[in-house]
């Protein structure tokens, strides 16, 4: 197996955790040709923009990227480079699995659920402005289309079947947002009728947040709109031990970008203590996706072996990073997973 992948180290803890993921992929015996590319705040001084044209060209060519987190100025400045990349490549499905690990102490055991988030519409459409120069009020428009809802919900039904799962819960707020969330829900109900083999449930988002905290094991796969998915997937990360453990995939018809759920973690950046697990598991998701797409069993097997090595190292407990109760460095945990392979 030999593949070319755009590698974006990103900002904050990005370069630290991406290095660990690269080491692990290589230890798994995968021959990846990495095309390094800049993006985010760290690209601005060198390229004058958070999304350089060369980076877009590289992703366009390779149709595949492994990406560290990118910083976005809060409340001002340029728009999110993450949102822009997802829109540019129409990466409409954001898949965020959360599974408990033996060795990581949490309130619940046996959590195994997946949040599938619509990644291009809703309140992240970027249609937002202040209504006057004095900034006395602002408005933001949520855009939901039937086509956009259909493709993400259909993706979720197929995900349930392909991954031998049972139940799909559609999360909405159609009691208040009768048109936008209403359209998403109506589309889901229509598609549910075409997938009688998948148990379909619907739940209002506020109740869903409470139910997830109270009894996460009642859930299997969840599908929801952009903002709700963003928030609920951080919540599900918390259930299994935090953002250091949760991987993510941004999937489109033409390209895919794999990244951890977490951000740049400015509070620990540069200290060498970030947990690389989420980024390593994102790399494993990438290999499994490659395996499915190119019918390459060796890629899928490498992804499975990386997941097993991560589980083994976390269960052994000797090299845990501080966020999950240990004292190990990013590099030590990465080395341990590479050695376990
Ligand atoms: P964050 O995910 O960066 O951090 C939240 C908390 O989780 C912090 O306490 C941090 O230390 C901890 N954490 C995150 N990843 C960790 C890891 N691997 N190991 C150990 N601890 C970890 O969220 P934030 O502080 O809200 O956002 C910081 C910046 O990241 C913002 O600019 C935001 O826009 C950006 N961001 C980017 C992405 C992305 O690139 N996909 C996602 C989320 C946030």
Mean per-residue pLDDT for 205-221?
A: 97
Cα 212 to averaged position of ligand 1 atoms, centre (Å): 21
Long-range CB pairs of 40-45 (<8 Å, 24+ gap) are 40/8, 40/10, 40/11, 40/14, 40/69, 40/70, 40/71, 40/81, 40/264, 41/11, 41/70, 41/71, 41/73, 42/9, 42/10, 42/11
In the predicted model, what is the mean pLDDT of the chain? 95
Per-residue pLDDT at 198: 97
Q: Tokens representing 83?
A: 């949102």
Q: Tell me: pLDDT of 218 over 80.
A: yes
Mean per-residue pLDDT for 220-225?
A: 98
Q: Is any atom of ligand 1 closer than 6 Å to the C-beta of 123?
A: no
Mean per-residue pLDDT for 20-27?
A: 97
Q: Tell me: pLDDT of 2 over 80.
A: no
Q: Tell me: pLDDT of 1 over 70.
A: no
Q: What is the per-residue pLDDT across 49-102, written as a single tens digit (0 to 9) for each?
A: 999 999 999 999 999 999 999 999 888 888 889 989 999 999 999 999 999 999
Q: What is the per-residue pLDDT across 241-259, written as a single tens digit (0 to 9) for each?
A: 999 999 999 999 989 999 9
Q: Tell me: pLDDT of 126 over 90.
A: no
Going by alpha carbons, the residue nearest to atom 26 of ligand 1 is 263
Q: Counting atoms of ligand 1 from 1, which one is nearest the CA of 234? A: 2
- Please state whether the predicted TM-score (pTM) of the whole model is above 0.85: yes
Q: Is any atom of ligand 1 closer than 6 Å to the C-beta of 122?
A: no
Per-residue pLDDT at 175: 97
Going by alpha carbons, the residue nearest to atom 43 of ligand 1 is 263
């Amino acid at each position: 197996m030999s593949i070319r992948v755009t590698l974006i180290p990103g900002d904050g803890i990005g370069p630290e955790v991406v290095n660990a993921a690269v080491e692990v992929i290589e230890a798994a015996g995968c021959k990846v040709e990495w095309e390094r590319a800049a993006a985010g705040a760290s690209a601005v001084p060198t390229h004058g923009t958070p999304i350089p044209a060369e980076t877009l060209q590289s992703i366009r060519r390779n149709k595949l990227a492994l990406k560290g987190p990118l910083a976005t100025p809060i409340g001002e400045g340029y728009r999110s480079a993450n949102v822009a990349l997802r829109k540019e490549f129409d990466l409409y499905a954001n898949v965020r699995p959360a599974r408990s690990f033996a060795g990581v102490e949490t309130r619940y055991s046996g959590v195994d659920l997946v949040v599938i988030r619509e990644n291009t519409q809703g309140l992240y459409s970027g249609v937002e402005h202040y209504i006057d120069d004095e900034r006395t009020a602002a408005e933001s428009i949520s855009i939901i289309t039937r086509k956009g809802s259909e493709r993400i919900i259909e993706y979720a039904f197929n995900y349930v079947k392909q991954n031998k799962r049972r139940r799909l819960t559609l999360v909405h707020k159609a009691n208040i947002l009768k048109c936008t969330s209403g359209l998403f829900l109506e589309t889901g109900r229509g598609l549910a009728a075409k997938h009688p083999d998948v148990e379909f449930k619907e739940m209002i988002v506020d109740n869903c947040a409470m139910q997830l905290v109270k009894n996460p094991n009642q859930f299997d796969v969840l599908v929801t709109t952009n903002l709700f998915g963003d928030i609920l997937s951080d919540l599900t990360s918390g259930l299994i031990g935090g953002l250091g453990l949760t991987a993510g995939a941004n999937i489109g018809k033409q390209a895919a970008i794999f990244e951890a759920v977490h951000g740049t973690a400015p509070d620990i950046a540069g200290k060498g203590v970030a947990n690389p697990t989420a980024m390593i598991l994102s790399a494993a998701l990438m290999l499994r996706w490659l395996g499915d797409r190119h019918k390459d069993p060796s890629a899928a097997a490498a992804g499975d072996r990386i997941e097993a090595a991560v589980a083994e190292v976390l269960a052994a407990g000797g090299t845990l990073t501080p966020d999950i109760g240990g004292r190990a460095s990013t590099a030590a945990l990465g080395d341990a997973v590479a050695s376990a392979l």
